[in-house]
Amino acid sequence: MTEMKVRCPPSALMKFSASHSYSTLASIRGQVSHGHSHIGKHRKHPEVQGNAGGIHCHRINFDKYHPGYLGKVGMRHYHLKRNQNFCPTANLDKLWTLVSEKTWVNAAKNKTGAAPIIYMVLSGYYKVLGKGKLPKQPVVVKPKLFSRRAEEKIKDVGGACVLVA
């Protein structure tokens, strides 16, 4: 009877290097518990994992390196609405950048007294503050809020302050 030759790729024949048979892994192969005993079993971590145990077994670490991490502070605020104080502001020196250059040139040439209207809310600003100077041409500004100085400076150049909701 002749022997059958099994054809297999050369990579399968060179599965392990020569030194593999002496390695710890090679000697453990085939043993069910992989060297960690049947009774005790090799489970994950003996104590607790992650940030657990801050109030008992890891207390010293938490108190020393993370003071204030555990516990509560202050009063509760039910149904907190965080955007109530949302009020983006713009100063007077930025006012004319909110309209197109064409509008700015036409307003300078205009002799009839018709002032351009600047809608602050459409530009993303709610309040006008009084920092900076305005050119000496009238303008109608429509924000939700004004500061006192901004209102004075707009009226000094012949403009108008109109509040919108």
Q: Supply the range of the domain harboring residue 105.
A: 88-161
pLDDT category of residue 12 using cuts at 50, 70 and 90? low
Residue 20 falls inside a structural domain: no
Angle at 105 between CA 99 and CA 106, to 5 degrees: 95
Q: How many domains does the chain have?
A: 1
97 found inside a domain: yes
Q: Average pLDDT, whole number, for the chain? A: 87
Please indicate whether residue 111 or residue 12 has the higher confidence score (pLDDT): 111
Q: Is residue 42 part of a domain?
A: no
Q: Is the dihedral of CA 23, 25, 31, 37 positive or negative?
A: positive
Domain annotation covers residue 16: no
Write out pLDDT tens, residues 69-120. 999 999 999 999 999 999 999 999 999 999 988 887 888 887 777 889 999 9
* pTM score: 0.54
Domain assignment of residue 71, yes or no: no
Answer yes or no: is 130 within a domain.
yes
98 within domain boundaries: yes
Distances (CA, A) of 133 to 125, 150, 156: 18, 10, 11
Residue 132, in any domain of the structure = yes
The domain that contains 118 carries what CATH number?
3.100.10.10
In the predicted model, what is the mean pLDDT of residues 9-17? 56
